[in-house]
Structure 1
């Protein structure tokens, strides 16, 4: 019996090659893209679940209230980890994770910048990273011991066993020998915590004074705790208030400084803008991608259903004959579902091949390391997709056709107006609705990102190169910044001697989200005033192309203007200064200083955020004397910003590197372009826009194939009518318009519903930008007219072929 079902199914599919091909191509495209997206979503949702006791692991989140303004961050004080372990019996282990970098000898003559994580000795007791050599309770006990990954081991030692060997790194003012005590397997791609090297947190002594390590208001890196029982989370959070009262004493105001515990399962998929030391994915992105995958599949399934309905008259005779021969309802349903299943399973095989081909492009687009692994979860997901599509695409034709009465079918009295008209038109209209929804969304995203890219940020990003200069570590923050700037000044002066260099400045921060540091001080009325700060040197304002609104620029000579501040226009407005020149900060704690200039507002952050008050300062000592809050969100090493004269980037890069080797012969050269730094801020939304664009293209292709097939079926079923009309004198145009009118109505409905809905849905996406730009009504009008022209072209081509047939032959055949 099964053999006969399959034989009949294969014969029916082979007999109708056009319809089978359209169904197969549509489902293959839909499945290929959808499989890729579903695997990606499943990969994103799998982050950090490989840790054995992941439900017991939490990250501390700090909550601070200043003058009624709530601030949250995952940067925590160093003292938090030992305090939580000592004060709460529910805590089994704690660890800090603080990022850092140092110059390390790759061989006897070459150095490179080595990234590392400073962690507590219990780090590997908390997290289940696979240790290939060494024991997890011993490898991080010694100050001068490091644990490295396989990739780092190969870089330093080739194929030799790295354990017991040494790596020289510059910690503080001197190079220290670190012995490799453990070797880790390269980290899983679905780990939120990424690193190359681990070292014991005793190494904090090189950079942070004892006072900073014991201060609850100086924050560095993230803190993780592992509980004995995850249900004890609420107990710990309830006890934090009393803990803060105990450790802060009179400094503490109820509710002003607290900690909560975030499960690591919630770290990666989050809407939080400040995610600490990990990269996150917005849940909105996953919902959008999953929605796109479902819509593409739905369009392909609609093609299958509409074509089955369109062929209902032909298949109805088959049903009538088979019922007369004794076939029952269940057998016929199973036969139709078998045909749908065979088409779907064939499309799945082709879709998997297509997905494999698209993986490199997808990884490049989203900067991921996705691989299609067919484990039990994935196989179950694919099996579910096959059943879903078989049901979606084949259920209506199967049950509708199998319920027909054989007497009416064979007598020719069959009426399936609902199947041939209302449902079919509704499904095709829904296809157009989805297509126009995706196209209009793409138009909105392209227009917004074009406005973002062309927006005047208030500074010059062209031909500006950012060169990272190694900092001079010190337990004194002021000393570290001062001496690091002196080192950067040597390189800046060397560059200024070259005619190819127009100007050069020094800066702690460059551009981007949270690149400028957060700072604040209490004003005369004890109201907290928060703003952004950047320490600069040389011709920073000139190199960045900032414009002075009033006053003057800093003197570029080292040591000059050490008591001077330059502010932006927003800062002056916030302070309500009509004439800010010569003003002083409204706090007596500041060392003697003076505001010498006001720069025109510029976007120091990405265009997701509004312009904030900004202070530019040369002397950290003068500035630190008056603030009561500082949050460092980016690297602390200085950067030399170099503005070139020409357009030959390669020659300019060689110049920068040659001068570097002369000034810093033992240090690794690292640089980036300012315009690339700016563009990187919008990568996530650029990727999403490209994905929606590709989805729109696939949706249009599938919908076009469906429209082509439906027009062909509609015209083929009315060849006798066309012949009669031609004999009676109807023109080709009138016959063509008769068919066009039917499909144009469907197109117009899709446009009228899809375009307004896209505007509504995209409001949430576009609201995240401080700068917003909507396409003009003319763009949407052109899009609607293009859709109508698209339908006219396909239907007219089909109708024209039918009108060219000899009516005598058509009527004779009928």
Structure 2
């Protein structure tokens, strides 16, 4: 019996090749993209699930009162981990994670920059990263022991067993020898923590003074805890106030400094701008992508439904005969569902091939390492898609056609123009609504990203190269910065003598959200004044192309202007200085200093944020004397900014590397472009825009095929009417217009609902930008005209072809 259902279904599909092909292509495109999206969403939802007892792992979030209320961050003091472990019996393990880098010998003559995490011995007891070699509880016991991943081990030792071998790392002024005591498998792709090497945090002594390690107001990295049970979270948070009273004594003020616990499962999916050391994905991205997947599938299913209803008149006699021969309602339903199932199954097979082909493009677009692995969860997703599509696409046509009355069918009295015709038109209009919604959303996103791309940031980013200078670790933060700048100055001066170099400066921070450090001090009125700070040197202002509004630039010579500050206009306005030159900070704690210049406001942050008060300084001493708050969100090693004279980049790069080898013969040369740093801030939204564009393109293609099939069915069902009209003298254009009117109304309905809806749905997205601009109404008008032209072209071609048929043949048909 089942075999016969499939035989008949296959026969019907082969007989109607056009409709079968349109449905197959539409569902294949929809499934190919949707499979990628659903697997990606499922992959994102599994982040950090591989850790055993993951429900017991939490990250500390620090909350501190500032001028604008309570501010939150995942950067915590070094003392946090041991204090929480000592104060709360519910905390079984605790570790601080501090990211750092050092020069490492790859062989006896070449060094390279090596990133690592400073952790304590509890790290591998909290996290279940697969340890291939070594004892989990002992690999980090010694100060000079390191744990490396497989990739790092191969880089240093090839295929040899790395255990017991040594790696030389520059700590402070000297290279120290570290022994490999553990080998980790490469970090899983669905881990929110990524690292290459682990080192015992006893090595903090090389870069952080004991005083800073024991301070509650110097923050460096993230703190993770493992607790006895999930319910202990509330007990620990309730006890934080008592712990802080004990730790801060008379400096403690209730509600002004405290910690909360964030579950490991809540870390990866986050909208927070400051995500700490964890890799995060915005939950809204997953919702948008899931919505896109369902919309594309829905358009393909609508095609199936509308064509099935359109073919009801041709299948009606089949239904009438089968019912007359004794076929039951449920058998007919099953027959039509079998046809839908076969099309869906075929589309799934082709969709999987399409998904595999698109996977590299998808991974490149979202910078992920997604693999199409067909485990139990993935198989359930695929089976669920088959069932849902079979039901959505086939249920209504199956129920409608199976319910036809055989007497009416066999007498030729069947008409589906009333009611069912309205349903078909409504479904096609809904297709156009979805298509124009996606197209308009793409237009809004493209327009906004063009605004961002062409916006004047207040500085010159073209042909500016950033060269990383080796970090100089020191327990004295000021000494570390000054020594780093001294090294950078040697390289800057070697470049300044080259005719190919227009200018060169030195900077700690480059560009982007939280790139400039946060600083603050209490004013004489007792209010906290917060601002952004960057330490610079050489011809920084000139190289960046900043515009001086008042005063002068820094003297580029080393040691000059060590007590001078340059501020931006927003800083001067916030301080209410009408004449900022010569002004000093309103706090007596600051040592001798002076404002020597004011630069025109520039965007040091991305355009998601408003311009903030900014201070530039050459030396940290004068600034650090007066501030009571400093948050470092970016690297602390200086970078030399070099602006070329427009020559060929490869030749320019060769000059940079040549001078580098002269100044730093043993250090690895690395560089980046300032404009790429700027663009990187908007990558997430650029990716989303590309994904919506792809979805819109697919939606248009599927809708176009659906419109083509619908027009063909509509015209095929009215060939006799066309013949009569031609005999009575109607022109081809008037007949064509008769069909066009019908479909133009459908198109306009989709446009009139789709365009306003796109503006409503995109409102939250565009309002995340401090600098934003909606597309002109002309763009929406052009989009409407494009939709009308699109419909006219498809319907006109088919209707004109139908009018060329000889009316004698069409009228003789019956």
Shorter-chain TM band = over 0.9
1:378 paired to 2:400: no
Matches within 5 A, 1:192-203: 192-203=192-203
Q: Which residue of 1 aligns with 2:2?
A: 2
Q: Which residue of 2 aligns with 1:504?
A: 504
Partners of 1:141 and 1:200 within 8 A in 2: yes
Partners of 1:309 and 1:419 within 8 A in 2: no
1:351 paired to 2:351: yes
1:431 paired to 2:428: no
Q: Which runs of 5+ in 2 are unaligned?
A: none
Q: Which residue of 2 aligns with 1:568?
A: 568
Q: Deviations over 1:616-670 (max 9, x none)?
A: 0011011100000000000000000011112311111110001000000001111
Q: Deviations over 1:59-80 (max 9, x none)?
A: 0000111245111000000000
> For residues 482 and 3 of structure 1, what CA distance do their matches in structure 2 show?
82
Q: Which runs of 5+ in 1 are unaligned?
A: none
Give the drift of 1:419: 5.2
Partners of 2:458 and 2:546 within 8 A in 1: yes
Q: Which residue of 2 aligns with 1:493?
A: 493
> For residues 251 and 76 of structure 1, what CA distance do their matches in structure 2 show?
18
Give the drift of 1:330: 0.5
Partners of 1:310 and 1:714 within 8 A in 2: yes
Partners of 1:77 and 1:219 within 8 A in 2: yes
Q: Deviations over 1:569-609 (max 9, x none)?
A: 00000000000000000000000000000000000011111
Give the drift of 1:416: 2.6
Matches within 5 A, 1:269-668: 269-418=269-418, 420-668=420-668
Matches within 5 A, 1:234-245: 234-245=234-245
Q: Which residue of 1 aligns with 2:804?
A: 804
Q: Deviations over 1:454-495 (max 9, x none)?
A: 000000001110000012111000111111101110000000
Partners of 1:463 and 1:647 within 8 A in 2: no
> For residues 474 and 419 of structure 1, what CA distance do their matches in structure 2 show?
80
> For residues 175 and 580 of structure 1, what CA distance do their matches in structure 2 show?
47
SS at match of 1:779: helix
Matches within 5 A, 1:682-693: 682-693=682-693
SS at match of 2:258: strand
SS at match of 2:270: coil
Q: Which residue of 1 aligns with 2:793?
A: 793
> For residues 786 and 472 of structure 2, what CA distance do their matches in structure 1 show?
62
Partners of 1:207 and 1:475 within 8 A in 2: yes
> For residues 308 and 450 of structure 1, what CA distance do their matches in structure 2 show?
43
Matches within 5 A, 1:197-236: 197-236=197-236
Q: Deviations over 1:424-478 (max 9, x none)?
A: 0000000000000000000000000001000000000011100000121110001
Q: Which residue of 1 aligns with 2:83?
A: 83
Partners of 2:102 and 2:471 within 8 A in 1: no
Q: Which residue of 1 aligns with 2:184?
A: 184
Give the drift of 1:278: 1.5
TM-score (norm 2): 1.00
Give the drift of 1:420: 3.7
> For residues 352 and 483 of structure 1, what CA distance do their matches in structure 2 show?
57
Distance 1:212 1:418, change over 3 A: farther
Deviates more, 1:295-304 or 1:466-475: 466-475
Q: Deviations over 1:514-559 (max 9, x none)?
A: 1100000000111000000000111110010000000000000001
Partners of 2:67 and 2:530 within 8 A in 1: no
1:26 paired to 2:51: no
> For residues 11 and 813 of structure 2, what CA distance do their matches in structure 1 show?
25
> For residues 418 and 283 of structure 2, what CA distance do their matches in structure 1 show?
41
SS at match of 1:118: strand
SS at match of 1:467: strand
Partners of 1:572 and 1:580 within 8 A in 2: yes
Taking only aligned residues, the RMSD between alpha carbons, in angstroms, comes to: 0.7
Partners of 1:56 and 1:226 within 8 A in 2: yes
Q: Which residue of 2 aligns with 1:102?
A: 102
Deviates more, 1:403-412 or 1:28-37: 403-412
> For residues 468 and 231 of structure 1, what CA distance do their matches in structure 2 show?
46
> For residues 670 and 554 of structure 1, what CA distance do their matches in structure 2 show?
27
SS at match of 2:220: coil
> For residues 646 and 491 of structure 1, what CA distance do their matches in structure 2 show?
21
Q: Which residue of 2 aligns with 1:257?
A: 257
Q: Deviations over 1:6-41 (max 9, x none)?
A: 110001000000000000000000000000000000
Q: Deviations over 1:680-709 (max 9, x none)?
A: 111110000000000000000000000000
Q: Which residue of 1 aligns with 2:172?
A: 172
Q: Which residue of 2 aligns with 1:268?
A: 268
> For residues 53 and 172 of structure 2, what CA distance do their matches in structure 1 show?
37
Partners of 1:437 and 1:757 within 8 A in 2: yes
> For residues 490 and 553 of structure 1, what CA distance do their matches in structure 2 show?
21
SS at match of 1:647: coil
Q: Which residue of 2 aligns with 1:718?
A: 718
> For residues 383 and 419 of structure 2, what CA distance do their matches in structure 1 show?
29
> For residues 514 and 476 of structure 1, what CA distance do their matches in structure 2 show?
23
Q: Deviations over 1:99-123 (max 9, x none)?
A: 0000000001010000000011110
> For residues 338 and 501 of structure 2, what CA distance do their matches in structure 1 show?
73
Partners of 2:67 and 2:529 within 8 A in 1: no
> For residues 9 and 604 of structure 2, what CA distance do their matches in structure 1 show?
65
Partners of 2:121 and 2:200 within 8 A in 1: yes
Distance 1:274 1:784, change over 3 A: same
Matches within 5 A, 1:746-785: 746-785=746-785
